[in-house]
A and B are shown apart, each in its own frame.
Chain A
Amino acid sequence: MAITMDGVELGVSISELAATKIKYFAEKQGLKDNIGVRVAVKGGGCSGLTYDLQITDQELESDKTIEQYGVKVMVDKKSYIYLVGTELEFSDGLNGKGFVFTNPNAKKSCGCGTSFSV
């Protein structure tokens, strides 16, 4: 089931920097074409749910996929409901946190930001 707003299907988006970093890690893994990231939610983390990122070139039929900045963002079907409207960004620099999720569904997050509850 797709969740829409004003007729537009909502999904997970990524920032340009996050896309660049995904391409960088994908190339280090030896991937060349169809580069993407599968985003999922798992039980756990301090607050109940935690994010799971996998760099991949294998798109599944059940994934909800969008493409931005040359990177496919594949959202696991069961995780979609927890991730609608989420933006994946990259926090760079010495104190950077790496990939960071801005998730409008998260009511609470843990200190390090990798776990949330809805």
Chain B
Amino acid sequence: MALLRSALHSITAAAGVAFHERHGWDLVMVYSTAEEEYQAVTTAAGVHDTSYMGRLKAIGDDGLDLLNRLSTNKVLDLEPGQGAPTILTTDRGRILDLIGVVNVDDYILLITSPGAQQQVIDWLDKYTIMEDLVVEDITEETTMLSVLGPASQVAVESAAGILLNELPPYHSLTAEMAGHRVRIVNRPFGELPSFDLLMDPDAAAGVWDHLSASGVLPVGEEAFEAVRLSYAVPAYGHELGESYNPLEAGLIGSIDFTKGCYIGQEVIARLDTYQKIQKHLVSLEFSADATVFEGDTLNDDGREVGKVTSVTRIPAGQGLIGLAYVRKASASPGNVLELTDSSSGQAEIMALPQMFGPEQS
């Protein structure tokens, strides 16, 4: 199957950068150097072409009502401009996908994991019985850029000539950027501030150039993956999927325990009440001598306690970091686990990440 291409593909190809297949898209790995790009995102701001993420348009009066009945967070009362992260869960409380729900007035915008669009559409269709709701995949009809970094808000504000003030997470507004209409969604990347810019593909080149010209460095996949693991953001296919439930994945901040029933609610509520979580997502730092691959087993005192789900090298040469699921008894910050299989070395647990913070009060 031909790889999908972002609206920026021809422009970046002309600049001579190398592409690589990821998520079924032909993506830029590095624009300048991975080191510079990682540095920009972690200390200032960078722009990453996230057009490969799924975007769905849910049209109809019952969109929020249905989503509220099928997912973990309270999305029923989202007014135009408001949004929230939520998790579609199976009747066993497992993760189908983590999605962003944004009420953009004319329709509900759903931001899905890369390649998860059809699965989300099929899931919503399956449970659309009497409801007024039609869901369309608009991924290829739109372009999405994410401006990430501690200075990302200032960068977006100056590029759009507006103030975002205290725009809450997942809330959105529209603005003009380089003469194009852009929807700005505040979608933090773990604890790293990040703003999605959604636009017509025709606007992509203008907005991209405008951001680059104002000093926001383009960031490729390699640096982006290092940022993801530095901020311990779980990804679909690695840490998110039907093998895990939202409590194990540290997503408790996107679960509303008081809103009432949704698919999987009974299982999730029980796991929480009786503290029955078997394993936790943890962030890891590997020892300098370590060789690590995804899927490697982690041992604690000679006993298997977990598996590595993501690993990458920080571009500035600061070593290997990763994410893993580790059995509850061994999942404590500071605990040092041993790598086995074809790998060697040690992995220290840094934290038990909670992408959306602790339980909602």
Residues of A within 8 A of B (CB): 40-50, 76, 78-79, 82, 108, 110-111, 114-115, 117
B261 partner residues in chain A, CB cutoff 8 A:
44-46, 50, 110, 114-115
Task: Determine how close the nearest CB of chain B comes to the CB of A58; give it in whole angstroms.
Answer: 15
B70 partner residues in chain A, CB cutoff 8 A:
43-44
CB pair B66 A43 closer than 8 Å: yes
1/0 per residue B120-143: CB within 8 Å of A? 000000111111000000000000
Known contacts A47-B91, A48-B91, A108-B91: A40-B263 contact under CB 8 Å: no
CB pair B130 A76 closer than 8 Å: yes
B69 partner residues in chain A, CB cutoff 8 A:
42-45, 50
Known contacts A48-B91, A50-B261, A117-B91: A43-B126 contact under CB 8 Å: yes
Task: Determine how close the nearest CB of chain A comes to the CB of B324; give it in whole angstroms.
Answer: 30
Q: Kindly report which residue of chain A lies nearest to residue B68, judged by CB atoms.
A: A44
1/0 per residue B46-75: CB within 8 Å of A? 000000000000000000001011100000
Q: Once bound together, how far apart are the Cα atoms of A115 and B131, in whole Å?
A: 17
* 9 smallest beta-carbon distances between A and B, as pairs: A43-B127, A44-B69, A46-B266, A45-B261, A46-B265, A47-B91, A110-B266, A78-B129, A48-B91
CB neighbors of A among B69-118 (8 A): 69-70, 91
Task: Determine how close the nearest CB of chain A comes to the CB of B43; give it in whole angstroms.
Answer: 45
List 25 A–B pairs whose Cβ atoms lie within 8 Å, in order of A's numbering. Answer: A40-B129, A41-B130, A43-B66, A43-B69, A43-B70, A43-B126, A43-B131, A44-B68, A44-B127, A44-B261, A44-B262, A45-B263, A46-B263, A46-B267, A47-B263, A47-B266, A48-B263, A49-B129, A50-B69, A78-B129, A78-B130, A79-B129, A79-B130, A110-B261, A111-B266
CB pair A46 B91 closer than 8 Å: yes
Q: Once bound together, how far apart are the Cα atoms of A83 and B127, in whole Å?
A: 15
Residues of B within 8 A of A (CB): 66, 68-70, 91, 126-131, 261-267
Known contacts A108-B91, A115-B261: A42-B129 contact under CB 8 Å: yes
B91 partner residues in chain A, CB cutoff 8 A:
46-48, 108, 117
Q: Kindly report which residue of chain B lies nearest to residue A42, judged by CB atoms.
A: B129
Known contacts A50-B69, A108-B91: A43-B128 contact under CB 8 Å: yes
CB pair A41 B129 closer than 8 Å: yes
B263 partner residues in chain A, CB cutoff 8 A:
43-48
Q: Once bound together, how far apart are the Cα atoms of A85 and B131, in whole Å?
A: 23
Q: Once bound together, how far apart are the Cα atoms of A110 and B126, in whole Å?
A: 19
Q: Once bound together, how far apart are the Cα atoms of A108 and B264, in whole Å?
A: 13
B267 partner residues in chain A, CB cutoff 8 A:
46
4 extra A-B contacts, CB within 8 A, seeds A44-B68, A49-B127: A42-B127, A43-B66, A46-B263, A48-B127
B266 partner residues in chain A, CB cutoff 8 A:
46-47, 110-111
Q: Once bound together, how far apart are the Cα atoms of A42 and B127, in whole Å?
A: 7
Q: Once bound together, how far apart are the Cα atoms of A53 and B98, in whole Å?
A: 31
Q: Once bound together, how far apart are the Cα atoms of A76 and B130, in whole Å?
A: 8
A41 partner residues in chain B, CB cutoff 8 A:
129-130
Q: Once bound together, how far apart are the Cα atoms of A110 and B268, in whole Å?
A: 13
Q: Kindly report which residue of chain A lies nearest to residue B71, judged by CB atoms.
A: A44
Task: Determine how close the nearest CB of chain A comes to the CB of B157; give it in whole angstroms.
Answer: 39
Q: Kindly report which residue of chain B lies nearest to residue A43, judged by CB atoms.
A: B127
Task: Determine how close the nearest CB of chain A comes to the CB of B29; give it in whole angstroms.
Answer: 41
Q: Kindly report which residue of chain B lies nearest to residue A47, judged by CB atoms.
A: B91
B262 partner residues in chain A, CB cutoff 8 A:
44-46
Q: Kindly report which residue of chain B lies nearest to residue A76, judged by CB atoms.
A: B130
Most buried by A among B91, B128, B267: B91
Q: Kindly report which residue of chain A lies nearest to residue B264, judged by CB atoms.
A: A46
A40 partner residues in chain B, CB cutoff 8 A:
129-130
A76 partner residues in chain B, CB cutoff 8 A:
130
